[in-house]
Amino acid sequence: MSQTVLTDTFFEQFELHPLLQQGLADCGFTRCTPIQALTLPVALTGRDVAGQAQTGTGKTCAFLVALMNRLLTRPAAPERRDSDPRALVIAPTRELAIQIEKDARAIGRHTGLRFALIYGGVDYDKQRQLLKDGCDVIIATPGRLLDYYKQHVFGLNGVEVMVIDEADRMFDLGFIKDVRFIFRRLPAREQRQVLLFSATLSYRVLELAYEHMHNPEKLVVETENVTADRVRQVVYFPAKEEKIPLLLNLLERNDPHRSIVFVNTKAAAERVTERLQRHGFRVGALSGDVPQKKRQKLLERFQGGQIDMIVATDVAARGLHIPDVSHVFNYDLPQDPEDYVHRIGRTARLGAEGDAISFACDLYAMGLPDIEAYIGQKIPVEVVSPDLLAMPKPRGRYEPLPDEDEEGGADAAVAAPMEAGAPAAP
């Protein structure tokens, strides 16, 4: 593994609140990543920021430090009720919101700031009561947050900081109307700070920024500096029927300890998961319609080493915060170049190295030129040799077990292998 990409800028160089400095030290954060070194000098002065940075660059820490330092060093607005938040952090996916809240509690452990995590798919009344009890920072997905706001569970008059993370994904998932609704109900631009981050500062993202932000400072960490130098990328050109044996052979040869296999449809996720399980791989499926409790349990098992890989659709590409992913397989080449960058960003996080292996079959190969143009490089081509297409011998089929409180499925826990010689499913 290569060393984490860090700059010569130290957190102690900034005039941060001592309790915040203590939390950073406890987390082992001393030197800044490039996006942190760019963001903090601007954000700590109270200016709005529109930042371009990929997942895994340390942007979460950047906006959390700026947000917390502002709340710790400035008094709350006089019109704020005790139950109203002083800051909002809006994320497009539940997984991303969960990870941001986890990071916030770690960095802010000594500050006394109260955090509320709000997202759909879990106990509605419990989250409602959490908001009624009051908090300093709400970390949320847009839909559930607006639901509570429209019921007058909390107000927005006291919001001093608004963070939009992965703004481009807000457009992709149809949340941008909700985001604009929230913006229009915040205090005046001069009275609050907005920190917006996106994988790309596209026209639509910049339009949002200039529409609702106060003279935002545009900060960019280039894509090629984030992923290309640290991810070993290759592409194969298999026929459609060759993709399963090719994937199985590559998994056997590379023996990746923690992998994500990306597909373009839910049906493909189910099909690939079943074939991998049949050949003895401990694997779970993650797509948009998997219930939230199952999603969390699956990710916990993946992080804990109980399963070796996840087969995921692009709904899961954003917000996954899993360390030490060694390989990303694009079983289906994505149709959007931005999705390619987000997918391979699951590996090589914060300076580590990783492998991204893509299959460009007849159905999706037409998207490869756009991907290469977007990342600014040609992806090396590997030959699909005959030995890579010979169906490997199964390790012994793994069967998913039902969850204790839910029905089992492709994304449930994985049991021990069947006895050698036991019949496998067709």
Sequence spans of domains, the chain: 11-221, 231-414
Percent of the chain with pLDDT over 90: 53
Nearest to 121 by CA among 293, 286, 296: 293
Answer whether 284's CB lies under 8 Å from 301's CB. Answer: yes
CATH number of 11-221: 3.40.50.300
CA-based end-to-end distance of the chain: 40
Give the per-residue pLDDT at 298. Answer: 83
Q: Residue range 164-181: average pLDDT?
A: 89
pLDDT band at 223 (very low <50, low <70, confident <90, very high): low
User: For residue 155, what are the CA distances in angstroms to 59, 139, 169?
Assistant: 27, 15, 26
Give the per-residue pLDDT at 24. Answer: 97
Give the per-residue pLDDT at 3. Answer: 38
Q: Distance (Å, rounded) from C-alpha 354 to C-alpha 246? A: 19
Q: Distance (Å, rounded) from C-alpha 330 to C-alpha 314? A: 11
Q: What angle do CA 110, 104, 151 make, to 5 degrees?
A: 115
Q: Which two tokens stand for residue 190?
A: 């001069």
Higher-pLDDT residue of 21 and 56 is 21
Answer whether 310's CB lies under 8 Å from 273's CB. Answer: no
Give the per-residue pLDDT at 272. Answer: 94
| Bridging pattern class, strands 49-52 and 193-198 | parallel
pLDDT of 250 strictly over 90: yes
Q: Which two tokens stand for residue 260?
A: 């994500």
pLDDT band at 114 (very low <50, low <70, confident <90, very high): very high
pLDDT of 186 strictly over 90: yes
Q: Residue range 99-107: average pLDDT?
A: 95
Higher-pLDDT residue of 354 and 247 is 247
**For the whole prediction, is pTM greater than 0.85?**
no
What is 231-414's CATH superfamily?
Answer: P-loop containing nucleotide triphosphate hydrolases (3.40.50.300)
Give the per-residue pLDDT at 343. Answer: 85
Give the per-residue pLDDT at 57. Answer: 82
User: For residue 377, what are the CA distances in angstroms to 71, 129, 362, 371, 372?
Assistant: 43, 51, 21, 9, 5
Give the per-residue pLDDT at 20. Answer: 97
Q: Distance (Å, rounded) from C-alpha 340 to C-alpha 334? A: 6
Q: Residue range 121-150: average pLDDT?
A: 93
66: Cα within 13 Å, side-chain hemisphere: 31
Higher-pLDDT residue of 137 and 231 is 137
Higher-pLDDT residue of 228 and 106 is 106
Give the per-residue pLDDT at 349. Answer: 63
Give the per-residue pLDDT at 158. Answer: 94
Average per-residue pLDDT for the chain: 85
Task: Write the CB contacts of 385 (distance below 8 Å, at least 6 apart in sequence).
Answer: none
Give the per-residue pLDDT at 85. Answer: 96
Q: Distance (Å, rounded) from C-alpha 359 to C-alpha 353? A: 20
Per-residue model confidence as pLDDT tens digits over 368-419: 999 988 888 899 999 999 888 887 777 665 555 455 334 333 333 333 333 3
Per-residue model confidence as pLDDT tens digits over 311-363: 988 765 555 666 678 899 999 999 888 788 878 877 866 556 789 999 999 99
Q: Distance (Å, rounded) from C-alpha 146 to C-alpha 174? A: 14
Give the per-residue pLDDT at 230. Answer: 74
